[in-house]
Amino acid sequence: MKIINSLVCIFFLIILLTGCSSSNEDRLSDYTVSKRIAAENLSLDDRKSILPWKIEHATSIPLQKVPSYIQTAELSSEARIYKVQFYTSKDERVGPIGIYVDVDSETVIGRELRN
């Protein structure tokens, strides 16, 4: 009986350890870094207009999906680009704030145009 209990415990430990993947942790780290960089680059007026009850969204996008008005010539084809979107009290008139961040160099590469 002890052997069966031991095997069951070992089996569950193996399942738990293989479920923890480092790629998920890397992706979570990228989301956090992109949100931090985008938030640091907001103007004072932008910060005042952000709705505190709406959470900003970070979305990974391929380099080809970055709008053409943003300069991406110096970025490598393997660049990890995230679009961070902030919701503001001005969304109905001009839309949300969208900031494009290169996570590898930790820089803002551009902002989405607002109406």
User: CATH no. for residue 42?
Assistant: 3.10.450
The alpha-helical segments, DSSP class H, found in the chain are: 2-19, 22-40, 44-49, 91-94
In a domain, 69, yes or no: yes
Task: Give the burial string for 69-80 (b: 16+ CB within 10 Å, else e).
Answer: eeebeebeeebb
In a domain, 62, yes or no: yes
In a domain, 5, yes or no: no
Confirm if 90 and 111 have CB atoms less than 8 A apart: no
In a domain, 32, yes or no: yes
In a domain, 1, yes or no: no
pLDDT for 28 equals 74
**Span 4-28, average pLDDT:** 65
pLDDT for 16 equals 64
User: What is the pTM for the complete model shown?
Assistant: 0.75
In a domain, 54, yes or no: yes
Q: Determine the structural domain holding residue 95 and report its residue range.
A: 23-111
In a domain, 7, yes or no: no
Confidence of residue 44 (pLDDT cuts 50, 70, 90): very high
Total domain count, the chain: 1
In a domain, 14, yes or no: no
